[in-house]
Structure 1
Amino acid sequence: MTVVQLPESPPERPPLRLPRRLPVRPVLCALPLLLVTVVAARHRAVLADGLGLLAGAEWPWLLAAGCATCLTWPAAACTRQGAVVERLPAGRLVAVQFAAGAANHLLPTGLGAGAVNLRFLAVCGLPLARSSAALALYLLAEAAGRVALLGLLLLAFPGALRLDGLLPTAALGPLLAAAVAVPVLAAVVLLGVRRLRTAAGSFLRTALAEARAVHARPARALALWGGAFAFPALQAGALVLTARSLGLSVPAGHLAVAYLAATVAVALVPTPGGLGSVEAALVVALVAAGAAAAPATAVALAFRAVTVWLPLAPGALTLAALVRARVI
C-alpha cells in the first residue's frame, strides 16, 4: 500500500500591517503658528520698531485705523462672493478671508490666500476649474479696482507724488523694457508649447463663462466690483488714520495716492505678503508725497504693525481652527 505524502502547507504569514496614516491634519493645524513664529523671528527688528511706535501714537486715530483694517476682511469676502454664482456661507467666508490674510503674509504674494480660498470653494462643492476661474476673476477685479482708484486719485490730486530725484533717469529704460519683455516672453512660451496652449484655452473658456454668469446677476456684479474698490480704499484709509495718529501733516489725498502707488509698484515683488518690500515702497511713496524721511519711516512701520503684525497671530489661529473644523 503506497502512502501519498501531501505537501506541507506553507507557514502562516503574519497579517500585513498597513502603515499608519500620517497625522496630516494636526500638522496642518500647527503649521500656521510655526510659520508665524519663523516670520516674526526673521523680522523681529521691524516688528519691535513698529509695535514700539504704536505706544506713542494717539489712540483714537489708531483705533479708527484698526477698525478700517477689520473692515477689509468683509470687503474681501464681498469680492469673493461676487466672483461665484453660488451663495457662500457668509460667516465662514469672512472667517476664511481673515485666515487667508495671515496665510498671504506667510507665503509668496497671493499664494497663501489663493490656496486657502481654493480649498474653501472646493469644500463648498465647486469643481477646481470653476473655483480657479473665480480666483482669477477676483484677482483681476482687485487689481483693476486698485489701479482705477489710483488713477482717480491722481486726477483729483495731480501733484500728490513728486518723483524727481527718487527714481534715477537711467533706470526708466530697463524698467520699461522688463515690463514689456515679461508678458511677451510669457506669451511666446504659452503659444509655443501645445499642452500649455490647450490648458490655457480651456481655462480661458471656463473663466469667460464664469464671468458672464456672474455679471448676468446684478447683485453678484455689485458685490464683485464694490468689494474690489472698497478693499484698497479701506487700506488707504487705515494708512491715513495711522499717519494722523503719529502727527504726520501730509494731506489725506496725498497719503492715499502714496499707499496705492506703493502697493501697485510692489505687486510684482514675490515676497511673503510684501514683507520688507512694502515698507520700503511705502517710505519712498510717503517721501514723494511730501513727508520727511524719518516720519515717513515711522508711519510705514506703524501702519504695517496695525495691518499685518497685530492680526497675524489671530489669523493663524483662525486658519488652524478652520482646518481642524474641515471648513478648508
Structure 2
Amino acid sequence: MAVRRPKLAPLLMGALAIGLLVVLGVQQAPEVRSSLRTFGHLHWGWLAWALGAQAGSMAALAHSQRQLLQVNGTKVSARSTMAVAYASNALSVSLPLAGASVGTAFSFRQFRRRGVDTATASWALTVSGVMSSIAFALLMTVGALLTDSPTGATIGLSGAAATALPMLALLLSLRFGNIRHSLNGAARWLVGRSRRWFDRPGEDAADAFEKILNQAAALRATPRQYGIAFFMSLRNWTADCVCLGASIAATGAHVPLRGLLLAYCLAMAAGSFGITPGGVGVVELALTASLVAAHMPADQALAAVVIYRLISFWLVMVIGWILVARLSSRGRATADEAAVPLREAVGEAPASSQSSPPETSVPLG
C-alpha cells in the first residue's frame, strides 16, 4: 500500500510564518523584554473581564446554532450545543487547512446522535456559517468606517465584501430552484469524476446530496429565530473583540477604541487562511502590527496579544479537546449499547458475553 506523503506547501508556509515570528522577536528584542516585564504588573480585574468575554463569545456561538437546530421542533439542550461548540472549535483550530471541515463534520455527527435529522443538521450548520460570516463582515465594515485611515477603510470594506458575498450566494442557493439545480449538476459531475479516478463515493452519493439539499431548502425558520441566530453570531465576534480589549487594558495600556475593531478583524481574516493551526504565528504577527499601527506601544501591544491568545486560543482549545475526548467516548459507548439488541436479534452473542447464542433467532429477510 502506497504511503501518502504530506503536502509540503502548507508545512513550508506554516514554518515560514513561525520563522518570521522568531526573526522579528530577535530583531525586536528590547520590545520583547519590555513586554515580559509587563506581565509582572497586570491588572487582574481586566483579566477576569477577558475570561468572561471569551466565555460569552463561545456561549453565543452555541446559542446561535441551537436556535437553527430547533427549526423543525427538535429539542437540543443548551449544554449539548455548548459542548459541541467547544469540541468542534478545538478540532477546527488544531489542523491546518482542513480544520474547519473536520470541525463541521464533528458537529454534524454529534447533532445527528442527538436526534437532529440529516437535512436539519446540514441546514443549521450551513446557515450558521453564513450568518457568522455576514456578522464578521458587518463588524469589519464598522471598523473600517471608524478608522481615520482611507487605506484601512478600503482594506476593511474590501475584506467585508469578499467575506459576505460567497456566503450570501450559498444562502440564496437554498431558496431558488435554478441555483439548486446548478449545484446538483455540479455535484453529479464531481461524483462522476471522483468515481472514475478513485472508485468512490458510492453511486447514490449525488442522489443523496440532491435529496438533502432539497430537504434543507424546505426548512423555514421564523423571523425571530433568524434574528436571534444572527444577533448571537454578532455577539460571538463582538465578545471575542472585547476579550482583546480587556487584554490590552490588563497590560495598563490605553485601548485604541477607534482602531481596535479593524485591527481585530484584519488579524482574524489573516488567520482564517489556515496556513498554520489556529493561525498560530500569523494572527500574532497581524494583530501586533495592527495594534502598533493604531498607535499602541510595541511592547504593550505584544504583551496584550499574548494574553489574548492564551485565553481565546490556547485555553479554549484545551477545554475543547477535553470535551472531544468525552463526547467521542460517550458516542462509542452509545454505539456499543445500540449494537447489543441487534446482535441478540440476529442470534449472535454480545462480544462481552461468553454465553452461547439463543436457540431461536429472528430470521433475516
Alignment-derived partner of residue 55 in structure 2: 70
Cα deviations by residue, 1:176-220 (Å, 9 ceiling, x for unpaired): 9xx99xx9xxxx99977742396776665444333xx12xx2342
Helix, strand or coil at the partner of 2:321: helix
Q: Residues of 2 paired with 1:56 and 1:66: CA distance?
A: 18
Q: Residues of 1 paired with 2:184 and 2:301: CA distance?
A: 42
Q: Residues of 2 paired with 1:255 and 1:289: CA distance?
A: 7
2:107 corresponds to 1:102: no
Higher RCO (CA < 8 A, seq sep 6+): 1
Q: Specify which of 80, 83, 91 is matched with residue 68 of structure 2.
A: 83
Which blocks of at least 5 consecutive residues in structure 1 are unaligned?
Answer: 1-41
Helix, strand or coil at the partner of 1:83: helix
Return closer, same or farther for 1:52/1:124 CA change in 2, 3 Å cut-off. farther
Return closer, same or farther for 1:269/1:161 CA change in 2, 3 Å cut-off. farther
Cα deviations by residue, 1:5-41 (Å, 9 ceiling, x for unpaired): xxxxxxxxxxxxxxxxxxxxxxxxxxxxxxxxxxxxx
Q: Aligned-pair distance for 1:106? A: 1.5
Q: Specify which of 71, 85, 107 is matched with residue 117 of structure 1.
A: 107
Q: Aligned-pair distance for 1:116? A: 2.5
Helix, strand or coil at the partner of 1:268: coil
Helix, strand or coil at the partner of 1:98: helix
Return closer, same or farther for 1:128/1:261 CA change in 2, 3 Å cut-off. same
Which blocks of at least 5 consecutive residues in structure 2 are unaligned?
Answer: 1-17, 26-32, 170-181, 192-205, 335-365
Alignment-derived partner of residue 273 in structure 1: 278
Alignment-derived partner of residue 159 in structure 1: 148
Q: Residues of 2 paired with 1:90 and 1:60: CA distance?
A: 29
2:222 corresponds to 1:208: no
Alignment-derived partner of residue 22 in structure 1: none
Q: Specify which of 304, 312, 323 is matched with residue 317 of structure 2.
A: 312
Helix, strand or coil at the partner of 1:249: coil
RMSD of aligned Cα (Å) = 3.7
Alignment-derived partner of residue 289 in structure 1: 294
Alignment-derived partner of residue 258 in structure 1: 263
Return closer, same or farther for 1:209/1:237 CA change in 2, 3 Å cut-off. same
Q: Residues of 1 paired with 2:322 and 2:55: CA distance?
A: 16
Cα deviations by residue, 1:94-153 (Å, 9 ceiling, x for unpaired): 122122222222223423431331111111223334322321111111010011122123
Q: Residues of 2 paired with 1:192 and 1:318: CA distance?
A: 37
Q: Residues of 2 paired with 1:283 and 1:88: CA distance?
A: 40
Q: Specify which of 243, 249, 262 is matched with residue 244 of structure 1.
A: 249
Q: Residues of 1 paired with 2:316 and 2:38: CA distance?
A: 17
Return closer, same or farther for 1:203/1:295 CA change in 2, 3 Å cut-off. farther
Q: How many residues align?
A: 263
Q: Aligned-pair distance for 1:54? A: 5.0
**Bigger Cα displacement from structure 2, 196-205 vs 285-294:** 196-205
Q: Aligned-pair distance for 1:65? A: 0.2
What percentage of residue pairs aligned between the two structures are identical? 24
Preserved CA contact (<8 Å) 1:68 1:237 = yes
Preserved CA contact (<8 Å) 1:240 1:255 = yes
Return closer, same or farther for 1:220/1:54 CA change in 2, 3 Å cut-off. farther
Q: Which has the larger radius of gyration?
A: 1
User: Normalization by structure 1: what TM-score?
Assistant: 0.68
